[in-house]
């Protein structure tokens, strides 16, 4: 028996040995009373010689104390569990904060000095051009690891290595125009669809001598229809304004001896209802090609948003406009590469019909490398 003196109260701890639990509980009750508290129960071996012939007994540790001074086991365990849970949450919170701080410091280190020059400059330019930190890091690591330290000092070798990485990143496709054929132009507002259509019409009329018709579905902007009619009159191309999907289907189906180019009203990618209006025209007309026209001056996230929302119209090709007005092509070209939609034309000015070219005539990788290496 062990006796601990706590103030004026005595706490009595005692161990009981029995052959089974029932016998042990009887002993506890007889000696400590029915208010006794069981603190521990375990199996022990007694007797025998060097462990041979020993028997297993039940050992119970119990105590008898005033209820007001000692909480019940269930209450004690609950209090301890709550305290442990709170402590664990606090520790996890501290760990998360520490990890966040470490990650921020690591990112800071990687952004400034993790790569030897000129690769640190390239890494920074890639991010400025619209790539994510991880995308830029992957490109720089692959490029730098493919070169010897001596090659890494040669600007021309670095340029060639980067060109190899960007070569073919965007799928280009030269469109085969023929008669009869129906082609519709779609895209957001202000990207230059009407002017681009006029450029392609002039190219097909003057260079390829194809019979053409021009339709406009843009009844929202009188100026746009008038602009397109002016181009059509100058080139002696039939022109008509279409007001409904049914009319578009009838007109396009009745013209079997010409290639039909159709303009649409510019629609914000955020306006699902307006995009559905264009979809209704596309379903009625059933064009062979749908050109999605995108502005090169837009940032990458906006371009990806446009492509995502216009996918319901199922564009077959992409046209990039205003490349003469941007200093960075990498972001938009990365978006095109991810979309898997082929790039067919690029425009580089307002002049009709001069400022347009087939995308496969543009050395995209060279332009991107020049952009990245520009100091």
**String of DSSP letters for 97-128:** HHHHHHHHHHHHHHHTTSS-TTHHHHHHHHHH
**Beta strand pairing status for 37-46 and 55-64?**
antiparallel
Report domain extents, the chain. 2-70, 116-166, 181-373
Residue closest to 216 by CA, chosen among 196, 194, 231: 194
At 11, give phi and psi (nearest 5°). -110, 115
Residue 360, Cβ density class (10 Å: 0-12 exposed, 13-18 middle, ≥19 buried): middle
Q: How far apart are CA 299 and CA 50, in angstroms?
A: 82
CA distance 375 to 367: 14
| pLDDT for the residue numbered 87 | 66
Residuewise pLDDT in 10s, the chain (375 residues): 333 443 444 456 788 888 888 788 888 888 888 777 877 888 888 776 555 667 888 888 888 755 444 444 455 555 555 665 666 666 677 676 766 655 554 454 444 446 777 888 888 888 888 888 988 888 888 888 887 878 888 888 888 888 888 888 888 889 888 888 899 999 888 888 888 999 999 989 888 888 998 888 876 666 777 888 888 888 888 988 888 888 888 877 777 778 999 988 776 666 677 778 888 888 888 899 999 999 988 888 888 888 988 888 899 999 999 988 888 888 888 888 888 899 999 998 888 878 898 998 888 888 888 888 876
Q: How far is CA 260 from CA 112, 239, 275, 350, in A?
A: 55, 10, 21, 22
CATH number of 181-373: 3.40.50.300
Q: What is the CA radius of gyration of the chain?
A: 40
């Amino acid at each position: 028996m062990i006796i601990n003196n706590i103030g004026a109260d005595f706490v009595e701890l005692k161990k009981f040995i029995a052959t089974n639990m029932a016998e042990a509980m009887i002993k506890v009750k007889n000696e400590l009373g029915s208010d006794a508290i069981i603190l521990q129960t375990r199996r022990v071996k007694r007797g025998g010689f060097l462990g041979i012939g020993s028997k297993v007994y039940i050992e119970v540790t119990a105590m008898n104390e005033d209820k007001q001074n000692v909480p019940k086991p269930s209450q004690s365990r609950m209090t301890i569990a709550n305290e442990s849970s709170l402590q664990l949450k606090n520790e996890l919170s501290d760990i998360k904060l520490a990890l966040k701080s470490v990650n921020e410091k690591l990112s800071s280190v990687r952004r400034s000095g993790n790569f030897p020059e000129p690769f640190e400059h390239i890494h920074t330019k890639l991010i400025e051009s619209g790539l994510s930190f991880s995308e830029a890091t992957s490109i720089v690591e692959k490029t730098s690891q493919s070169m010897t330290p001596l090659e890494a000092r040669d600007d021309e070798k670095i340029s060639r290595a980067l060109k190899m990485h960007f070569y073919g990143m965007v799928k280009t496709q030269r469109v085969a125009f023929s008669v009869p054929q129906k082609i519709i132009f779609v895209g957001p507002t202000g990207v230059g669809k009407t002017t681009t259509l006029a450029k392609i019409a002039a190219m097909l009329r003057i260079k390829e001598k194809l019979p053409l018709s021009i339709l406009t579905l843009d009844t929202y902007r009188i100026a746009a229809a008038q602009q397109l009619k002016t181009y059509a009159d100058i080139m002696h191309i039939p022109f008509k304004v279409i007001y409904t999907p049914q009319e578009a289907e009838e007109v396009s189906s009745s013209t079997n001896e010409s290639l039909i180019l159709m303009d649409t009203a510019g629609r914000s990618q955020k306006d699902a209802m307006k995009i559905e209006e264009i979809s209704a025209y596309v379903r009625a007309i059933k064009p062979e090609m749908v050109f999605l026209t995108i502005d090169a001056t837009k940032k990458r996230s906006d371009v990806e948003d446009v492509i995502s929302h216009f996918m319901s119209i199922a564009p077959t090709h992409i046209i990039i406009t205003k490349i003469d007005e941007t200093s960075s092509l990498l972001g938009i070209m990365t978006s095109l590469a991810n979309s898997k939609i082929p790039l067919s034309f690029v425009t580089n000015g307002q002049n009709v019909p001069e400022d347009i070219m087939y995308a496969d005539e543009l050395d995209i990788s060279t332009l991107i490398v020049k952009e990245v290496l520009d100091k």
